[in-house]
Structure 1
Amino acid sequence: MDHLVKLQRSIDGMKAMFETRMATFESSVATQGTEALPDEYSAFKNFMLKAVSSLQDQMEFVLRTLEEMESRSRTNILLLHGVPEAQGEDTSSAAVDILRQTLKVDGITLMACYRLGRNLIPSKPRPILLKFGCHRTRDAVWAAKKLLKGSGRTLSEFLTSTRHAVFLEARKQYGVKGSWTSDGRIVVQCHDGVRRKVVTLAELEALPAPPSADGVVGGVRTETEAAAEGKASPAVVAPRPPRQARFTAGSGVGKR
């Protein structure tokens, strides 16, 4: 899917270049005191802008569709982290033993089990990909993941790189306790107490802004917060500037 992402960026660049050149041309005409541009020019400009915008919308739709398909293909997959590596190891047996003994889940059938990536850092074991034979077993393992606490091992969902990027950003904004993953989607505990699911950075940025460390929500301190500090009126600060939404695609890893 990387070539589609490159194509999307190429279209974005083409639109930016077209708008820049048109603006330069129009500025040059105005400077020279030339008569108003003919209607044909305006019609051509509008047509081109609409055509490029249509291409952008279609590419975004294709990318979103492919990304959703890739995410669904990972439904029965989990990643097991923190298992020490050993030369000649039987990864499948080691993983199944952990799941049975620690998580108390029986009847485990793995369709695939292997280490991800290359062992670039010997002291940091690579995660083990676990592809289960059925979704029910996968869910039973995922539901029991808290039993791994204190063992040095963790479980995570196998997110695409798009959703992994969203998950990392959610962690920055809402913290570890305020964001996690569920069935390939990112769940965010907003400051209003409502849980919301997102899959793109645009959707994440559209959520209510989390409160800052000093109790400011969305840039303005509430009356209740100000009164609690013994202030007569709320302290108003400048609202935060809007954040830019981004879109990427590929494959990656995310964990709660």
Structure 2
Amino acid sequence: MPLTRDQMTDVKLIVKQTIEELFSDENFIAVISEKIEQKLGLKATQQKIVGLEKQVDDLRRIKSKLECDMDMLNQRIRRKSLRIFGMQEKQDRSVSEQVRAFCEDKLKMHVSEENLENCFWTGKSKNGMRNILFTVDSYNLKMKLLRNRRLLKGSGLTLTEDMTPSRHSLYKKSVQKWGKQSTWFFDGKIWVKIRENKYEIKSDEDINNLH
């Protein structure tokens, strides 16, 4: 027997009220959501995504650790190396002769040919000025030369420890943030002074977090 118009209206109202009651029930919604997730495989997909994200994070940490270890090793290799900035390139003298003359005349220290393991020019010439990278035969000699670099004040010449590219980048960023007077590089490490406290800079994160 077909329903009358009034009966149809009542049925629609009952169905509407029933649906509203069901969807106001959190347990019902949870069951429906779970069924949909199971049907579409959403839960498994989300779990896979979470697992993959964790793997990516782990790989990033491993990569960062390897890069840090490689940089430490690279810096260790440079432990006895120094750089002279602003040297006048002279064609009639070898690089080692100019390094020894620099040490004798500017740093007031005698360095023999036997004390030098490597010497070569680096970078492009600017108005006849270039930089020299050289390695001495002992760490103690290197430190003695560095202690005497105060004698270079006003000469236009600079003597520094040799840094890896990544540490040099961190050093420049540190100087930009805290200034040259509060930033220094010593024995392979970058240091900054902030309000009477010293901090070692090992990463960009250190630069961003220190204020």
Task: Flag whether TM exceeds 0.5 (same fold).
Answer: yes
Residue 156 (structure 1) aligns with: 160
Report the aligned-residue RMSD.
1.8
CA separation of 1:198 and 1:124: change in aligned 2, threshold 3 A: farther
Question: 1:153, CA displacement in angstroms?
Answer: 1.1
1:137/1:63 CA distance change after superposition, 3 Å: same
Distance in 1 separating the partners of 2:109 and 2:91: 27
Q: How many residues align?
A: 172
Q: Deviations over 1:90-117 (max 9, x none)?
A: 1111111121232122354110111013
Indicate yes or no: 2:199 matched with 1:193: no
**Partner amino acid for 2:36?**
E
% same residue: 22
Structure 2: gaps (5+ residues): 1-34
Change in CA separation of 1:84 and 1:107 when aligned onto 2, cut-off 3 Å: closer
Structure 1's unaligned 5+ residue stretches are 1-33, 210-256
The correspondence for 2:177, drawn from 173, 176, 184, is 173
Q: What's the CA shift for 1:87?
A: 2.4
Q: Following TM superposition, by how much is the alpha carbon of 1:48 offset from its aligned partner in structure 2, in angstroms?
A: 0.9
One-letter code of the match for 1:149?
A: K
Does 2:58 match 1:48?
no
Tell me what 2:20 maps to. none
Q: Distance in 1 between matches of 2:138 and 2:122?
A: 21
Give the corresponding residue for 1:204. Answer: 207
Q: Deviations over 1:112-169 (max 9, x none)?
A: 11101344x3x05221011000000000001110101112211012111111111111
Q: Greater CA radius of gyration, 1 or 2?
A: 2
On the 8 A contact 1:162/1:200 being kept in 2, the answer is: no
CA contact (8 A) 1:179 1:186 kept: yes
Greater strand share, structure number = 2
2:136 maps to what in 1? 132
> Which residue of the other structure, out of 113, 117, 127, is the alignment partner of 2:123?
117
Q: CA deviation at 1:56?
A: 0.9
Look up the match of 2:64. Answer: 60
**Does the CA contact (< 8 Å) of 2:84 and 2:132 recur in 1?**
yes
**Any conservation in 1 of the 2:100–2:110 contact (CA below 8 Å)?**
no
3-state DSSP of counterpart to 1:150: coil
TM-score, normalising length: structure 2: 0.76
User: Which amino acid in structure 2 is aligned with residue 113 of structure 1?
Assistant: C
**What residue identity is the alignment partner of 1:197?**
E
The C-alpha deviation readout for 1:193-243, integer Å capped at 9, x for no partner, is 111121322122222x1xxxxxxxxxxxxxxxxxxxxxxxxxxxxxxxxxx
**Aligned residue among 78, 85, 98 for 2:82:** 78
| Greater fraction helix | 2
4+ residue runs of structure 1 moved beyond 6 angstroms?
none
Please give the secondary structure, in 2, of the residue aligned with 1:159: coil
Which has the higher mean CA deviation after the structures are superposed, 73-82 or 34-43?
34-43
- Partner residue of 1:184? 188
* In structure 1, C-alpha distance between the alignment counterparts of 2:63 and 2:155, rounded to whole Å: 44
Check whether the contact 1:79–1:157 (CA below 8 A) recurs between aligned residues: yes
Contact kept? 2:120, 2:132, Cα under 8 Å: yes
